[in-house]
Amino acid sequence: MAADEKTQAKTEQAKGKIKEVAGRAVGNERLTAEGRAEQTKGDARQAKEKAKDALHD
């Protein structure tokens, strides 16, 4: 996995988790949903890069 893509995936996952937790803490459903969506985006990016790596091995 390209280092910059891996970093971006991890960053998206972390930011998403923070948003989700913050949304839950203040009772903001929209923020919670945004956090989950951002985590999913990071997970998808990570999976895509892992698949690319597997094909190149």
Query: Per residue in 26-39, pLDDT tens?
Result: 999 999 999 999 99
17/2: higher pLDDT: 17
Q: Tell me, what's the pLDDT at 56? A: 79
Which of residues 42 and 55 earns the better pLDDT score? 42
Q: Return the C-alpha torsion angle 48, 51, 56, 57, nearest 10.
A: 140
CA dist 27 and 47 (Å) reads: 31
Taking 60 as the threshold, does the pLDDT of residue 1 lie above it?
no
Tell me how far CA of residue 54 lies from CA of 9, 33, 49, 57, in angstroms.
17, 31, 9, 5
What integer pLDDT is reported at residue 14 of this predicted model?
Answer: 97
